[in-house]
Amino acid sequence: MRAKSLITTKPRKSSPGYGLAMLMVFLVSTVMIGASLQMLAAPVSLSYLGSSSQDNLSAQEVANIGMETVLTDIQTRRNNNQTVDTSYTYSSTSVTVPQDPASLGGSTTTLGSYSATMTAARGDAFLVKVTAIVGSASYSLSKLIHINRNAYLLDSISGASAAYSLRKLRSAYSGSAIRVVRPSDSSEQDIGFSPNGDLDIDSLKTFLGNATPPLDTVTSAKVAYSLRKLRTAYTGYAIRVRRSSDNSEQDIGFTSTGDLDTGSLLDFVGTGSGYVKTWYDQSGNSKDLTQTTTASQPRIVSSGVLGTSNGLPTLYFDGSNDYLANTSITGTITGANITSFVTASTNASTYIWGRYVVLHKTNDVDEWETTTSIQLLSLAGDAYSVQAHTNSMGAAGYTVVTPGTLFQATAYHDSTNLKFYVNSALQESNAVSANLAPDYLVVGAGRSNTSVADYAQGTVSELIVYNSNLSTANRQIVERGESYYYRMNAFPWGYVKTWYDQSGNSKDVTQSTTSAQPYITVTNNNTAYGSRPSVYFNGSQLLSRANGMPTSSDYSKSIVFSIDNFNNWNDLIGNTGGQHSLYISSSAHIFRQSHSTSGTSYFASGSTIPSLSTLYATLCTFVSSSGTGTIYFRNASDGTATGGANTDASIALGARSGSATFSGSLSEAIIFSKVLSSTERSVAYNDQQSYFGSL
């Protein structure tokens, strides 16, 4: 379609603007940008050189023409399913305009030339750079673009019964991709797509990484100290700091996002060091930890540099005389039941009995030899083993940790047992009774009779104590919240509760049991499995629904996946009864299509053994009239045979009912109620390969 010229007056032939006007006519009359190339930034001038303003003006306009032409060329290539990547170049091309408006189509004048290159920015974003040369002048223009497809996969192939993917499959689809559960507080959120049709990784990352403060969810903590905000309703400060330069003191609070206000802290301390005099209790019980002896105050700033663990603020205890204490804990924590959480690290390099956190009753010989005191976290007699300990030899743990590495420790005691967890994993459980009656809480050291001793060398970032036995779910909420916030898990992860159907048939697959929900995790802008997002199944997880699979009729099933091991039957896509499941044999390690009436036998069998931890595209079809099933691997037939029709309408991803569980990642699964033609199979495979990379 030819656009109308926007120019209504003719400049004189000798006018300096004549060339510009003709270029505008040329531009609006002949060039249109493909609508699905999303611009992320306005044009940016990278260089501007020349001998005259007229040459510079012409060079800029030639660069504009070149950019529009290049973007149109890129769009055309994408529409034709051609790969466009960093190897893309646009050869030097001349730009001409008519010499005289009255003789359009006649003689022309060459104004200059342009060429283009493309470099990767991030994800699907590319930087297109066009360089124009006019006479002695040059001008470079850049635009950041997202390369989209004009048509999504299901716009090109009809007949989908159900379609699950972490990319958008149909232009008309306006729903979300998945529903994710955040383990730290069991919150749920739908995650949709970016404007480019990719999974909205930014929203996923924000949701998983920004958990509700733990005391909002798991209430009734008796004491709570942290360098982050633990309770939304808390309006007090985090710490009171003394600076070394003049011994002045200042309370330091939190930012609007609940982090320690390190800006105010560093401004106050300056180039000297900062020491913590008071660690405020956020539980609401006003059991602050204090240290008035300056030489025994733990450090938070050293010579103007913030002390950190995993990049976050922490308190450093020197192992010599540093500690904080509350001497009026009497009646706050009593009886047998206790659950405590400590985030810490050890820096000890020699044999040491260091105590990180103890609850002690004055005149007890030691905090581990009686039933009324307890070590919630201590070094177990060497540099790197940690434990909890009460009632003489009632110890749990002796777990080796890495020096300088932050860890999370949980001590749990009920009427008969002491359990010790490190990074959410149970290390030991011992039968031991206790009846706690402490009057002292000490952080950074232990206590014997009336004296402080056994100082810890290392860091403490957080301590929360409950005078109750938390449920497993609530214990894990606090543990995972600490793990995420303090970056002990490399990247946040969540459970996939629902994978939404994009076919338009509302055949979502779900899993309400948390332990059976597959995972999704984010690393920077992608997930841990391949260069594109994937849902990970660990060999005991399943997403399913009661209906949606074609029965007694033709079908095709297309998946993009990777497998971690061959220990199980590895059902990739099928139904809960095991009929017509596409799976990978645990013995032969090849693709198979299970039998119509028994999930333990098969009819179609492939010959290819997939490599572990490698992303693949695989498809299987079934022709009901002949009973012929065929498996396609990388768009080539891998095996064919005949069998009975499917009679089970349920859909299952990752397993059948409690068996044949899959270990690996699944990025896409589409069920068609027809046998795809060879052309459609090629379109699907080429589209998947273009998006997911080499399959």
Q: What is the pLDDT of residues 646-678, one digit of tens each?
A: 889 999 998 876 676 888 899 999 999 999 999
Task: Please report which confidence band the pLDDT of residue 125 belongs to, taking 50, 70 and 90 as the band edges.
Answer: low
Helix (H) or strand (E) holding 680: helix 678-692
Q: Average pLDDT, stretch 50-54?
A: 36
200 found inside a domain: no
Poorest-pLDDT segment among 126-130, 413-417, 632-636: 126-130
Under 8 Å between Cβ of 346 and 457: yes
Helix (H) or strand (E) holding 146: strand 137-147
Name 319's Cβ contacts closer than 8 Å, sequence gap at least 6.
Answer: 347, 348, 352, 354, 455, 456, 457, 458
Q: Is 168 helix (H, G, I), strand (E, B) or coil?
A: coil
In this structure, are strands 239-243 and 535-538 parallel, antiparallel, or unpaired?
Answer: unpaired
Q: What domain range is 264 assigned to?
A: 223-466
Q: Are residues 232 and 290 in the same domain?
A: yes
Q: Are residues 130 and 165 in the same domain?
A: no
Point out which residues pair with 259 in neighbouring strands.
Answer: 228
- The first and second tokens of residue 28, run together, are 């609006």
Mean pLDDT in the chain?
81
**pLDDT tens-place string over residues 548-599:** 999 999 999 999 999 888 877 788 888 888 788 888 887 777 777 776 544 4
36 pLDDT exceeds 50?
Answer: no
Q: Are residues 127 and 182 in the same domain?
A: no
Name the DSSP class of 73.
H
Under 8 Å between Cβ of 434 and 428: no
Residue 29's φ and ψ, nearest 5 degrees, are -90, -20
Instruction: Give pLDDT, residue 164.
Output: 98
Q: Average pLDDT, stretch 589-612?
A: 73
**pLDDT tens-place string over residues 307-335:** 999 889 999 999 999 999 999 999 999 99
Q: Are residues 557 and 671 in the same domain?
A: yes
Tell me the one-letter amino acid at 477.
I
Instruction: Give pLDDT, residue 582.
Output: 85
Point out which residues pair with 447 in neighbouring strands.
Answer: 452
Instruction: Give pLDDT, residue 459.
Output: 95
Instruction: Name the residue with tokens 């019964």.
Output: 161
Q: Are residues 400 and 503 in the same domain?
A: no
> What CATH number did the domain enclosing 356 receive?
2.60.120.200
DSSP string computed for 572-594: EEE-TT-TT-EEE-TTT-SEEEE
Q: Are residues 87 and 165 in the same domain?
A: no
Q: Are residues 421 and 522 in the same domain?
A: no
Instruction: Name the residue with tokens 């510009």.
Output: 20
513 found inside a domain: yes
Q: Average pLDDT, stretch 32-53?
A: 32
Q: Closest by alpha carbon to 476, among 405, 410, 400?
A: 410
Under 8 Å between Cβ of 395 and 374: no
Instruction: Give pLDDT, residue 20.
Output: 39
Q: Average pLDDT, stretch 201-213?
A: 78
Poorest-pLDDT segment among 60-69, 158-167, 636-645: 60-69
Q: Average pLDDT, stretch 666-691?
A: 94
**pLDDT tens-place string over residues 442-500:** 999 988 888 898 899 999 999 999 999 999 889 988 988 888 788 886 556 789 999 99
Name the DSSP class of 611.
P
Instruction: Give pLDDT, residue 460.
Output: 97
- The first and second tokens of residue 542, run together, are 């399943």
From residue 199, alpha-carbon distances to 196, 210, 352, 516 in Å are 9, 19, 50, 23
Q: Are residues 140 and 157 in the same domain?
A: no
Crossing angle (nearest 10°) for helices 18-30 and 53-79: 10
**What pTM was computed for the model?**
0.57
Instruction: Give pLDDT, residue 17.
Output: 41
Q: How many CB atoms lie within 10 A of CB 490?
A: 9
9 found inside a domain: no
Q: Average pLDDT, stretch 81-105?
A: 62
Instruction: Give pLDDT, residue 183.
Output: 79
Tell me the one-letter amino acid at 403.
P
Q: Are residues 316 and 452 in the same domain?
A: yes
Which residue has better confidence, 242 or 352? 242
Q: Are residues 143 and 274 in the same domain?
A: no
Instruction: Give pLDDT, residue 53.
Output: 39
Q: How many CB atoms lie within 10 A of CB 336?
A: 16
Rounded CA-CA distance 376/539 in Å is 35
Q: How many CB atoms lie within 10 A of CB 159?
A: 17
- Domain end residue (candidates: 131, 147, 163): 147
From residue 674, alpha-carbon distances to 196, 504, 557 in Å are 29, 16, 9
216 found inside a domain: no
Rounded CA-CA distance 467/335 in Å is 8
329 found inside a domain: yes
Q: Are residues 227 and 349 in the same domain?
A: yes
Under 8 Å between Cβ of 489 and 533: no
Name 542's Cβ contacts closer than 8 Å, sequence gap at least 6.
Answer: 511, 516, 652, 653, 654, 655, 656, 657, 661
471 found inside a domain: no
Rounded CA-CA distance 109/425 in Å is 76
Task: Using the CB atoms, write b or e for 31-40: b if 16+ within 10 Å.
Answer: eeebebbbee
Instruction: Give pLDDT, residue 18.
Output: 39
Poorest-pLDDT segment among 61-70, 410-419, 458-467: 61-70
481 found inside a domain: no
Point out which residues pair with 428 in neighbouring strands.
Answer: 420
Instruction: Give pLDDT, residue 357.
Output: 94
Task: Please report which confidence band the pLDDT of residue 8 belongs to, taking 50, 70 and 90 as the band edges.
Answer: very low
Instruction: Give pLDDT, residue 581.
Output: 85
Name 347's Cβ contacts closer than 8 Å, sequence gap at least 6.
Answer: 319, 403, 404, 457, 458, 459
| In 3-84, alpha helices (H) | 18-30, 53-79
Tell me the one-letter amino acid at 372.
T
Handedness of CA 413, 417, 420, 424 (dihedral sign): negative
609 found inside a domain: yes
How many domains are there within the chain? 3
- Domain end residue (candidates: 147, 180, 209): 147
60 pLDDT exceeds 60?
Answer: yes
Instruction: Give pLDDT, residue 40.
Output: 34
Q: Average pLDDT, stretch 40-50?
A: 30
Q: Are residues 140 and 167 in the same domain?
A: no
Point out which residues pair with 389 in neighbouring strands.
Answer: 375, 395
Instruction: Give pLDDT, residue 121.
Output: 58
